[in-house]
Amino acid sequence: MARTVDPALHARRREAILGAAGRLFAEQGFEGTTVAQIASAAGVSSGSVFYYFDDKPAVFRAVFEQALPHNEALIARHQGTEEPFAAILDVVAGLAADADDPSASGMVVELLRRIGHDEQLGVVVERASQVVREGLAGLVARGIEAGTVDPELDPADTATWLENIVDAAYLGARPGHSPLPALRRTVARYLEPGRTERV
């Protein structure tokens, strides 16, 4: 008789593995982290890690795969908004919400190291990034139409810049010091109508 899988337990164990993996990859790097270490930190056996993931690169990719549903929900929350300027600030803040996490910058550094060695990782990151760029570009265009965003800005270029400044917040953030106030202020001033003429 086949063993019944408890979906809640399955989800908790997978989440525990990814949480432990993220911390270890950030602290020790991808190469310096073993599956046995991940399993021990997650409180499971090494065999359990391989039950959920094919190999160590799959565990690393899965940490970043979590960004896709998060980004989709963040953008979807502002569909039909009547305040695109405020929505852009909210999306940017949502993207950088955990930038002050002690392991965040380490994971970004490891991502930059790994992405050229793992084609599937590149696909994962690009899918999550595309959702953000398209969503932000749409909000910027709507802000321009509403007169709350500088009409001199190109929506697609601006979306890419906004994504880049969020990435920079992760690399430059100090643990325990949120970059969100400065990030929101920078973005708000960049988007304001008339800023182009004053630069």
* Distances 83 to 9, 141, 144, 155 between C-alpha atoms, Å: 40, 12, 11, 16
The rounded distance, in Å, linking the Cα atoms of 22 and 30 is 10
Question: What is the domain partition of the chain in residue ranges?
Answer: 7-54, 66-198
- The domain made up of 7-54 has a fold known as Arc Repressor Mutant, subunit A (1.10.10)
**pLDDT score of 199:** 47
Q: 133 by DSSP, 3-state: which?
A: helix
Give the CATH H-level superfamily of domain 66-198: Tetracycline Repressor, domain 2 (1.10.357.10)
Q: Say whether 66-198 and 7-54 share the same fold.
A: no
The rounded distance, in Å, linking the Cα atoms of 71 and 148 is 24
Quote the tokens at residue 35: 């599956």
pLDDT per residue rounded down to tens, the chain (199 residues): 445 667 888 889 999 999 999 999 999 999 999 999 999 999 999 999 999 999 999 999 999 999 999 999 999 999 889 999 999 999 999 999 888 888 888 899 999 999 999 999 999 999 999 999 999 999 999 999 999 999 999 999 999 999 999 999 888 767 678 889 999 999 999 999 975 554 4
Q: Which of 183, 185, 150 is nearest to 169 (CA)?
A: 183
The number of C-alpha atoms within 13 Å of 190 and in the hemisphere containing its C-beta is 19
The per-residue pLDDT for range 16-51, each reduced to its tens digit, is 999 999 999 999 999 999 999 999 999 999 999 999
Q: Which of 65, 62, 90 is nearest to 76 (CA)?
A: 90
Q: What is the pTM of this model?
A: 0.86
Q: How many beta carbons lie within 10 A of that of residue 173, not counting itself?
A: 23
Phi then psi for residue 80, to 5 deg, are 80, 10
The rounded distance, in Å, linking the Cα atoms of 76 and 138 is 12
